[in-house]
Amino acid sequence: MKINSKDVLLVIDVQNDFCPAGALAVGDGDAVIEPIRRAAQCFQHIILTQDWHTPDHNSFASAHPGKKPFEQIKLSYGRQTLWPDHCVQGTHGADFHPELQLTRAELILRKGFRCEIDSYSAFFENDRTTPTGLSGYLRERGLACVFLAGLAYDYCVGYSALDARRLGLPAVILRDACRAIDLNGSVAAIEQEFAASGVELMNSGDLSD
């Protein structure tokens, strides 16, 4: 697939805490770096997202006495999976993986910094209505098609792709440049949503500039 000047590569949360030895490590998470860097060579426009949680974030199991990571609770905006403390603002775990090195990125979008609400998608908080501002940025820059890669496939990458479609943007996930958590069948569930919403899947090797 030939990439043009209206396409953007959206690299989701390739941070130390989601890579091996991190607080919320995704299996084989650092294996996304090579295909992402290869894909990036085809794009004029690159955006990075960065999970950026407060130390007392409401999505952390530690914020709810008696609860353990990966349990679910009900919050004002719906069901919330509780996570180990991760990607806390200003910590090593929140830093981008040192091998990512996408210095051409035009924007770093931080998300999840509101302590009362989690944020999987690069476009909306988990209440599905509070915007991050990314859609306005893309619109003003004239960027019309979103290619996604990073961590994790079945959470932040997937939610971002679905929201891109909800906003009327074509969304293509580079499958070999993602890794999944697959918590309680989350991969199969989100892939059903991809099929229903028109999210496309391809590999980084299918791209050309």
Q: pLDDT tens digits for 103-142?
A: 999 999 999 999 999 999 999 999 999 999 999 999 999 9
Residue 98 pLDDT more than 90?
yes
Which of these, 100, 106, 107, lies nearest to 151 by C-alpha position? 100
Q: Given this model, what pLDDT does residue 147 score? A: 98
Structure tokens at 188: 């199969």
Q: Given this model, what pLDDT does residue 1 score? A: 86
DSSP conformational letter for 47: E
pLDDT > 70: what percent of the chain? 100
Which amino acid is it at 88? V
Residue 71 pLDDT more than 80?
yes
Please give the model's pTM, rounded to 2 decimal places: 0.96
Handedness of CA 50, 132, 60, 189 (dihedral sign): negative
Rg value, the chain, Cα = 16
Rounded to an integer, the average pLDDT of 36-52 is 97
Which amino acid is it at 209? D
Rounded to an integer, the average pLDDT of 185-203 is 97
Q: Given this model, what pLDDT does residue 194 score? A: 98
Structure tokens at 171: 């969304």
Residue 209 pLDDT more than 90?
no
Residue 196 pLDDT more than 90?
yes
Q: Given this model, what pLDDT does residue 104 score? A: 95
| Residues belonging to the active site | 13, 111, 156
Of the candidate ranges 71-80, 97-106, 134-143, the one whose mean pLDDT is the lowest: 71-80
Q: Given this model, what pLDDT does residue 150 score? A: 98
C-beta of residue 154 within 8 angstroms of C-beta of residue 186: yes
Average pLDDT, the chain: 96
State the pairing for strand pair 72-75/46-51: unpaired
Q: Given this model, what pLDDT does residue 208 score? A: 83
143-183 pLDDT, tens digit each: 999 999 999 999 999 999 999 999 999 999 999 999 999 99
- Nearest-angstrom CA–CA distance, 173 and 153: 9
- Nearest-angstrom CA–CA distance, 147 and 130: 22
